Amino acid sequence: MKRRSWMLISLLLVLVMVLSACGQKATPTKAPAPTKAPAAATKAPAPTKAPAAATKAPAPTKAPAPTKKPAAKPAAAGESTVAKILKRGKIVAGVKYDFPPFGFVDKSGKNVGFDIDLMHEFAKRWLGDPNAVELVQVTSKTRIPMLADGKVDLVAASMTHTKPRDDTIDFSITYFMDGQMILVKKGSGIKDVKDLDGKVVTAIQGSTSIDNIKHEAEKLGIKIQILPLQEYPQGIQALKDGRADALTTDSSMLYWYAQQNPELEVVGKRFSIEPYGMGVPKGDSYFRDLVNFTLQDIKMDGTYDKIYHKWFGANAEPWNLDIWPGKNPGIQKIGKDFNPPAESTVDKILKRGKIVAGVKYDFPPFGFVDKSGKNVGFDIDLMHEFAKRWLGDPNAVDLVQVTSKTRIPMLADGKVDLVAASMTHTKPRDDTIDFSITYFMDGQMILVKKGSGIKDVKDLDGKVVTAIQGSTSIDNIKHEAEKLGIKIQILPLQEYPQGIQALKDGRADALTTDSSMLYWYAQQNPELEVVGKRFSIEPYGMGVPRYDAKFRDLVNFTLQDIKMDGTYDKIYHKWFGASAEPWNLDIWPGKSYIKLGK
């Protein structure tokens, strides 16, 4: 990844409660883990003290209504929001007017904030003009209906990505992480949520804050009364005039209001995680891709960090967004279709009573054939777990052999329901299929004969390197060789056992692919060794059909459930060793909106 270089990213929200929200025949015994198992980018950047930027702009008092209504209409089948924006020549973005520092009205009456700056950056990159964006006022209550009704193209409004919300809209990758706390009057005697027993707590209708504080109160065994209000200034006033004993929302905003109102203070610990995503229309794959690719570009070129420091202070640590390899084609070249399926793959699987999964047969430890002739591996175990949870039977899955070359065409042609085949999520691949969240992270290295004198990629000048057709490995090694100024010859092959044989018989000087597989082969072949450093990032995603938002949600929710209940870590340690550190998958609060038949 999403996410990143090979930096291990610490988790600042660790105390926050998660809401209820291949022919090579080797017996899998001691699958070697990568030399460093990457940790997930789950660090929470919310400041521990009021953001420095808060002194530069006052909290909003009155949110002006938008000057005109947007002309946007719901996207029709056959036309993505991408096409609508290009025809119109501007973006219609739903933003907050009362939620500093994300979107609020400054002293001059101008709508400003973190989300606002991102929308201007989108307009600049998509349409060549940072002002080619119409900022439409939304609230926590109206933002999802306005997006679902086509009144805005997207929503950038400090919105937590939750599973229930996925029923109506789709989300971008997480672009900010926060957590909920409480704001009280100084001297109130309230130091944490446990002190709110019998008290009145105000929160905003349509936000996740009400459910979160109710859940926390129930967990602590206390009784609270909720005062729901429409806007945050009303909540601040209710706190000041004594109608409420506490205001609760995400910490970044509470610290802002505390700085604007010296008689108020933020107390206690965060009791939720709030992964913010931009809302996009349901099933509009190309537009969601464009939003994600643009966020990633903004992160990679330093613009995101610059905007982040502007609003959260120079010492705040910016969020590390997911990063997928490849280039952003841009708004002019990205696909403009929108063709949701008449029937979701979810319903097809339920009718059939079986999953049809594309998996590898030659890529240990993800999918391979063991000595008994059985298809086993990390991806295989996950597919059996999916079948168990979806259909009540771990064996209700057909494992269809795919290769790096055939896996995407077979999914696109409907020959398999999904692909779990150690597949790197890249931007070019998003042109044909959709992907789940990242469920494994790896990086590319090289395998050579011991005693060859080759210690790293730089030693491959003039050498023959074998890699598998259809994988990202060929482009990656070519790019690395070009960067190092060396010349290599590529020997493309169909399967990994062929590559191992080419290495052994001298037709190739090195085999290159992801490190987890190379370490496996080195263990099975003592005359071979893995050398050098990783020179790529390989975020693995499960391939799912394009436009099928319901099925993509189900796959993501199931992966998250498997992670949260400990099953993922158990499977991970089985294949990569007890000391390997499992990948920390994205976790979205809430329960799945999808009800399976079994």
Residue type, 451: G
φ, ψ for residue 368 (rounded to 5)? -160, 175
- CA–CA separation, 507 and 528 (whole Å): 15
Both tokens of residue 123? 């307009």
Residue that the structure tokens 């692919």 belong to: 513
Please tell me the predicted confidence (pLDDT) of residue 76: 57
- CA–CA separation, 428 and 425 (whole Å): 9
Q: Could you tell me if 244 and 196 are in contact, meaning their C-beta atoms sit under 8 angstroms apart?
A: no
* Among 155, 49, 152, residue whose Cα is nearest residue 99: 155
Q: Could you tell me if 571 and 26 are in contact, meaning their C-beta atoms sit under 8 angstroms apart?
A: no
Please tell me the predicted confidence (pLDDT) of residue 208: 85
Residue that the structure tokens 């089948």 belong to: 77
The contacts of residue 485 (CB under 8 Å, 6+ apart) are: none
Q: Could you tell me if 360 and 402 are in contact, meaning their C-beta atoms sit under 8 angstroms apart?
A: yes
The contacts of residue 192 (CB under 8 Å, 6+ apart) are: 182, 267, 268, 269
E strand or H helix that includes residue 111: strand 111-112
Q: What share of the chain is helix, strand, coil (3-state, %, to 5)?
A: 30, 20, 50
Measured between alpha carbons, how far is residue 137 from residues 66, 75, 99, 119, 235 in Å? Answer: 6, 20, 11, 13, 19
- CA–CA separation, 380 and 402 (whole Å): 13
- CA–CA separation, 238 and 252 (whole Å): 20
* Among 112, 138, 134, residue whose Cα is nearest residue 206: 138
- CA–CA separation, 93 and 41 (whole Å): 27
Both tokens of residue 587? 């976790």
Residues 387, 393, 398: CA angle, nearest 5 degrees: 55
Question: Count of CB atoms within 10 A of residue 205's CB?
Answer: 15
Q: What is the pLDDT of residues 242-255, one digit of tens each?
A: 999 999 998 888 98
The three-class DSSP label of residue 539 is: strand
Residue type, 110: K
- Backbone torsion region of residue 583, taken as left when φ is above 0, otherwise alpha when ψ lies between -120 and 50, otherwise beta: beta
Q: What is the pLDDT of residues 399-434, one digit of tens each?
A: 999 999 999 999 999 999 999 999 999 999 999 999
- CA–CA separation, 191 and 196 (whole Å): 9
Please tell me the predicted confidence (pLDDT) of residue 597: 64
pLDDT by position in tens, the chain (length 598): 334 333 333 333 322 333 333 333 333 333 333 333 333 333 333 333 333 333 333 333 343 444 343 444 445 567 899 999 999 999 999 999 988 899 999 999 999 999 999 999 999 999 999 999 999 999 999 999 999 999 999 999 999 999 999 999 999 999 999 889 999 999 999 999 999 999 999 999 888 899 999 999 999 999 999 999 988 899 999 999 999 999 999 888 898 888 889 999 999 998 988 899 999 999 999 999 999 999 999 999 999 999 999 998 887 789 999 999 999 999 999 999 999 999 999 999 999 999 999 999 999 999 999 999 999 999 999 999 999 999 999 999 999 999 999 999 999 999 999 999 999 999 999 999 999 999 999 999 999 999 999 999 999 999 999 999 988 899 999 999 999 999 999 999 998 999 999 999 999 999 999 998 898 889 889 999 999 999 999 999 999 999 999 999 999 999 999 999 999 999 999 998 887 889 999 999 999 999 886 4
Question: HSE (CB half, 13 Å, CA atoms) of 387?
Answer: 20
Q: Which residues pair with 446 in a beta bridge?
A: 512, 531
Q: Could you tell me if 254 and 182 are in contact, meaning their C-beta atoms sit under 8 angstroms apart?
A: yes
Q: What is the pLDDT of residues 45-82, one digit of tens each?
A: 333 333 333 333 333 334 344 434 344 444 556 789 99
Q: Are strands 362-363 and 367-369 parallel, antiparallel or unpaired?
A: antiparallel
Both tokens of residue 16? 């926050």
Q: Are strands 154-155 and 91-95 parallel, antiparallel or unpaired?
A: parallel
